[in-house]
Amino acid sequence: MTEEHDHAHYHGVDKAEVHPTVNEALRILLESIFPVKPETTSLPKANNRVLFGDVKSPIDLPRRTRSTRDGFAVNIPHEVEAGQSFKVSGGVRIGTVPKLFLKPYEAARVATGSNIPSGANAVLMVEYGDVQGKTLLANKPIKMKENLLTQGEDIAKSQLLLSAGTRLRPQHIALFSMLGIESVRVFSKPKIAFFSTGDELVDPKKSRSKHTGIYDANRPFIASMISDLGAVPVDLGIAKDNFGVIKTKMLKGLRYDALILSAGSSVGERDYVARAANSIPGVRILVHGVAMRPSSPTGIASYRGKPIILLPGFPTSAIISFYVFANPAILRLSGCTNLEKPIIRAKLVEEYDGKPGLTHFVRVKVAMKNNEYEANIVRPTEAQYSRWLQSANGIAVINEKGVAGQNELVDVFLIAEVS
């Protein structure tokens, strides 16, 4: 099978296996990052935000014992058999606090969700009761606490609801609303600056005339990913291949919580990013080159606890590098405790023969067949090809042995739905 290739002018690509492994580079990156500061936000604005601290329930749920069925709340001293009769002493409207007190063998009409009267300790479903005047006849045995949700049985006061670092989703908003929580303490949304470098790049938003350049696809991708991760994208545009221009944009980007560059990671006579970074006090280059394919020219730097990620220029390489490094870095900045991408196990339909010593990230089309996931490699696999973007829905991870056999199970992280 054909191996994948990155930038030909990057001096380390042919011997990329000498670089740090993906896991080692990721560890170095994440250890250099400090989460952003917290703020308080109202519950309607809390979706997709990350909790700064643990949240405990302020109340019992339910606050009073209530019925889980339409029927009759009854007071029984012990389990009773079918044929037991009760005196119907009234009813309870849902949403009200009943003033009734039921004595033994008394009953009151209730609805699903009604608070039950004092003295009641079970509910007989309406279909199992016959009422003649004020007498209720049970047509089935009744057990203690039957059809009841007792106070605090669902959620007890002071019970831990969600831990710090949890990203809030709509179901969490519903949970907090049930408990009367109006605002939450969350991490601020990180502001992620980014720009591309290269004389050949053309901004697709600004170009309306004929040109001989290359449309910049990396910045729109980066902006979309940042937004999906709940952070704020700050687009600094395109920097031409000029040391002063690149350094100026880097200084501007370092005012924010993180900085991502694309086409700024390779080493060549016209690649000024590393020189610009090294000229800024406080910037430390942590990694320049990773044992992976594609994206081996990826660079990682740090500035006072802020990550700087240098992505390769080919869109394929930039996208893979973003998923592997920028994605968890932004989650760490956001205060998330779970930085792992959801992984499925899929059967590789055909073998993959890569380069030993590198972790390969192979674009695949995943489908469900015979109750298992199957992954078809999307070809061509070389990084200079971008047509996989229209069909791939997953990235298969081939470990450092570089080879995966036909029908071998491999890890895949999904980037789109499985149809």
DSSP string, 343-370: EEEEEESS-EE--TTSEEEEEEEEEEET
Q: How far is residue 75's CA from residue 2's CA, in Å, rounded to a whole number?
A: 78
User: Pick from 121, 149, 177: which residue ends a domain?
Assistant: 149
Q: What pLDDT is recorded for position 264?
A: 59
Q: What pLDDT is recorded for position 358?
A: 95
**What are the pLDDT digits (tens) for 306-350?**
999 999 999 999 999 999 999 999 999 999 999 988 899 999 999
> Do 228 and 324 belong together in one domain?
yes
Q: What is the CA radius of gyration of the chain?
A: 31
> Do 350 and 284 belong together in one domain?
no
Residues whose CB falls within 8 Å of the CB of residue 101, separated by 6 or more in sequence, listed in order:
117, 118, 119
> Do 27 and 111 belong together in one domain?
no
Query: Backbone phi, then psi, for 321, in 5-degree steps?
Result: -60, -40
Q: Is residue 253 part of a domain?
A: yes
CATH of the domain at 210: 3.40.980.10
Q: Is residue 281 part of a domain?
A: yes
Q: How far is residue 347's CA from residue 222's CA, in Å, rounded to a whole number?
A: 30
User: Pick from 333, 366, 386: which residue ends a domain?
Assistant: 333
User: CA triplet 234, 249, 186: central angle to 5 degrees?
Assistant: 30
CATH of the domain at 375: 2.40.340.10
Q: Is residue 8 part of a domain?
A: no
Q: Is residue 1 part of a domain?
A: no
Q: What pLDDT is recorded for position 419?
A: 82
Per-residue tokens: 241: 């291949």
pLDDT at 7 over 70: no
> Do 240 and 316 belong together in one domain?
yes
> Considering the entire predicted model, what is its pTM?
0.86
pLDDT at 59 over 50: yes
Q: Label residue 157 by pLDDT band (50, 70, 90).
A: very high
Burial class (CB in 10 A: 0-12, 13-18, 19+), 362: buried
> Do 112 and 82 belong together in one domain?
yes
pLDDT at 1 over 80: no
Q: How far is residue 360's CA from residue 338's CA, in Å, rounded to a whole number?
A: 23
Torsion of CA 225, 229, 231, 236, to 10 degrees: -10
Q: How far is residue 169's CA from residue 185's CA, in Å, rounded to a whole number?
A: 15
Q: Label residue 214 by pLDDT band (50, 70, 90).
A: confident
Q: Label residue 266 by pLDDT band (50, 70, 90).
A: low
Would you give the DSSP letter of residue 241? S
Q: What pLDDT is recorded for position 17?
A: 74
> Do 210 and 295 belong together in one domain?
yes
Please list, residue by residue across 121-156, b when 16 or more beta carbons sit within 10 angstroms of its beta carbon and e when fewer do.
bbbbbeebbeeeeeebebebebeeebbbbebbeebe
Residues whose CB falls within 8 Å of the CB of residue 53, separated by 6 or more in sequence, listed in order:
38, 164, 185
Q: Is residue 242 part of a domain?
A: yes
CB atoms within 10 A of CB 86: 26
Q: Is residue 279 part of a domain?
A: yes
Q: How far is residue 152's CA from residue 330's CA, in Å, rounded to a whole number?
A: 38
The answer to whether 268 and 219 are in contact (CB under 8 A) is no
Q: What pLDDT is recorded for position 209?
A: 66
> Number of folded domains in the chain?
4
268 vs 297 pLDDT, higher one: 297
**What are the pLDDT digits (tens) for 380-419?**
988 888 999 999 999 999 998 989 999 999 999 999 999 8
Q: What pLDDT is recorded for position 2?
A: 40
**What are the pLDDT digits (tens) for 268-285?**
544 688 889 999 999 999
Per-residue tokens: 406: 């036909």
User: Pick from 333, 367, 400: which residue ends a domain?
Assistant: 333
CATH of the domain at 45: 3.90.105.10
Q: Is residue 159 part of a domain?
A: yes
**What are the pLDDT digits (tens) for 172-187?**
999 999 999 999 999 9
> Do 100 and 133 belong together in one domain?
yes
CATH of the domain at 137: 2.170.190.11
What is the rounded average pLDDT of the residues 50-77?
A: 97
Q: What pLDDT is recorded for position 263?
A: 81
Q: Label residue 9 by pLDDT band (50, 70, 90).
A: very low
User: CA triplet 197, 199, 205: central angle to 5 degrees?
Assistant: 75
Q: Is residue 397 part of a domain?
A: yes
> Do 91 and 142 belong together in one domain?
yes
> Do 347 and 322 belong together in one domain?
no
Range of the domain at 220: 13-36+189-333
> Do 236 and 306 belong together in one domain?
yes
The answer to whether 313 and 342 are in contact (CB under 8 A) is no
pLDDT at 154 over 80: yes
Q: What pLDDT is recorded for position 46?
A: 96
The answer to whether 74 and 120 are in contact (CB under 8 A) is yes
Q: What is the mean pLDDT of the chain?
A: 92
> Do 140 and 48 belong together in one domain?
no
Q: How far is residue 91's CA from residue 187's CA, in Å, rounded to a whole number?
A: 48
Strand partners, 185: 40
**Sign of the C-alpha dihedral, residues 352, 353, 359, 362?**
negative
Q: What pLDDT is recorded for position 13?
A: 53
> Do 260 and 357 belong together in one domain?
no
Q: What pLDDT is recorded for position 207?
A: 63
Q: What pLDDT is recorded for position 5?
A: 40
pLDDT at 109 over 70: yes
